[in-house]
Amino acid sequence: MDIEEEIRSLQLDSAAEDNGVVNPDEAKPEVENDNKMEEDSREEIRKQSDKSVVVEHKGKEKETPDPEEEHDDMELDKKRHLNVVFIGHVDAGKSTTGGQILFLSGQVDDRTIQKYEKEAKDKSRESWYMAYIMDTNEEERVKGKTVEVGRAHFETETSRFTILDAPGHKSYVPNMISGASQADIGVLVISARKGEFETGYERGGQTREHVQLAKTLGVSKMLVVVNKMDEPTVNWSKERYDEIVTKMIPFLKASGYNVKKDVQFLPISGLMGTNMKTRLDKSVCSWWDGPCLFEALDSIEVPLRDPKGPFRMPIIDKFKDMGTVVMGKVESGSVREGDSLFVMPNKVPVKAVAIYIDEDRVKRAGPGENLRVRLSGIDDEDILSGFVVSSVGKFYFTAFHWILCPFLRVFKYFIP
């Protein structure tokens, strides 16, 4: 007990030292001041938090875009992109017309044209020099026949176009199918020269077969260009033009085309470039009041694809290049570098490592674009043409049916 009393006395002495004994009544104001300061600070914090909530709410309304996403949107919001396949009977002038388009749109310079003119003259094929722009293979230049699907690009004020120059010879129909399966628009090139139109149009001719295949493969819009109108036996004859149009309309209708909405006719000269970039001069052809080829291509309306829909890209080719690279046209949705995808129908999970449009590497690509996508997680031996690269999520079998059925309908052409 004595020890406890000593401890208490020591505590009282330390409390009274220097300051003396603290009166509890005198300490109240200080406690109240402390409480007020705490309350004031809490109110300030509340106000600041309320302001931050308002700022966040306003920010949600405006949603300041991420610079990377904004750049991606800019990539997708460029000119519309359309694939144009040139089809028709052999020697109708498809490659020449495609080459002339590239020359008129500034994709080929005069020096290159002069080089091709000299090369064609040395081979006694003076009129083939424009076709050399599209037919880059030496075998194609010697024979004067397109074998592989030529690919080139040009732009107008409102659109970007990819030209797909399909072979016209019956031996290369599988290659023509490969080109037409990627197309949004078909350009059916018909020769107005006497005898050439009839050869292509009669039963067994490639004009008929190409039209039917194009429709089967989903080419819903067709531009029928009557070529070689400057040929001496034709000389921009309205009678010859009308004769060809009159014969083609019933056949196009029978093939499933709505001639009034989905088909357009126009006369051109692919070799001379007449009625292609600029309209026909009345001194050359007095009866034609319609558009030129570039105007007709720009005016064609195709159904819009949803860039935010499920990603679907049928594979048309594959190869090895620092990994597995697949090629195809985006039918639906968008893809970004790093996206997790599936290769159907085997449901193999893959990742998009790199995306290329033409030769340019991009971070994101939308519908209608022709892509090369480098994939990780799969070997090229496990991929076949006709497989579909799909986004992760629900699998829309109706989409697979829509994409793959055209290939199945024309599968007979691939059977040896």
279 and 357 co-located in one domain: no
283 and 243 co-located in one domain: yes
Q: What is the pLDDT of residue 21?
A: 44
102 and 246 co-located in one domain: yes
Q: pLDDT tier at 101 (50, 70, 90 boundaries)?
A: very high
| More confident call, 326 vs 19 | 326
Q: What is the pLDDT of residues 222-256, one digit of tens each?
A: 999 999 999 999 999 999 999 999 999 999 999 99
| More confident call, 291 vs 119 | 291
In a domain, residue 227? The reply is yes
Which residue is associated with the tokens 């009839």? 198
User: Of 299, 332, 364, which residue sits at a domain end?
Assistant: 299
Q: What is the pLDDT of residue 58?
A: 40
User: Of 276, 299, 322, which residue sits at a domain end?
Assistant: 299
Q: What is the pLDDT of residue 191?
A: 94
Q: What is the pLDDT of residue 400?
A: 45
In a domain, residue 406? The reply is yes
In a domain, residue 1? The reply is no
In DSSP terms, 365 is beta-bridged to 335
| More confident call, 65 vs 312 | 312
279 and 332 co-located in one domain: no
Longest dimension (CA), the chain: 139
User: Cβ(270)–Cβ(277) under 8 Å?
Assistant: no
142 and 255 co-located in one domain: yes
CATH of the domain at 259: 3.40.50.300
Retrieve residue 175's tokens. Answer: 């290659």
| More confident call, 131 vs 279 | 279
pTM (two decimals):
0.73
User: In percent, how much of the chain has pLDDT > 90?
Assistant: 40
| More confident call, 122 vs 55 | 122
| More confident call, 416 vs 344 | 344
Q: What is the pLDDT of residues 140-166, one digit of tens each?
A: 777 777 888 888 889 988 888 999 988
Q: pLDDT tier at 317 (50, 70, 90 boundaries)?
A: confident
244 and 336 co-located in one domain: no
On average, the pLDDT of the chain sits at: 79
Count: domains in the chain: 2
* Amino acid making up residue 319: F
CATH of the domain at 331: 2.40.30.10
Q: Which of 35-39, 76-80, 304-308, 316-320 has the lowest mean pLDDT?
A: 35-39
| More confident call, 405 vs 120 | 120
Q: What is the pLDDT of residue 399?
A: 44
| More confident call, 78 vs 98 | 98
In a domain, residue 325? The reply is yes
Q: What is the pLDDT of residue 323?
A: 87
User: Of 252, 275, 299, which residue sits at a domain end?
Assistant: 299
Residue range 348-356: mean pLDDT, rounded: 94
Q: What is the pLDDT of residues 270-279, one digit of tens each?
A: 999 999 999 9
| More confident call, 282 vs 67 | 282
Residue range 181-194: mean pLDDT, rounded: 92
Give residue 397's region: left, alpha or beta (phi > 0; psi -120 to 50). alpha
252 and 320 co-located in one domain: no
In a domain, residue 12? The reply is no
135 and 225 co-located in one domain: yes
149 and 196 co-located in one domain: yes
Retrieve residue 67's tokens. Answer: 């610079």
207 and 342 co-located in one domain: no
In a domain, residue 2? The reply is no
Q: pLDDT tier at 9 (50, 70, 90 boundaries)?
A: low
In a domain, residue 50? The reply is no
Q: What is the pLDDT of residue 25?
A: 45
267 and 239 co-located in one domain: yes
190 and 147 co-located in one domain: yes
User: Does position 61 have pLDDT exceeding 60, yes or no?
Assistant: no
Q: What is the pLDDT of residue 76?
A: 47
User: Cβ(115)–Cβ(405) under 8 Å?
Assistant: no
- Residue ranges making up the domain that contains 332: 312-414
Q: What is the pLDDT of residue 358?
A: 79
* Amino acid making up residue 404: L
Residue range 105-127: mean pLDDT, rounded: 85
In a domain, residue 60? The reply is no
Residue range 43-59: mean pLDDT, rounded: 43
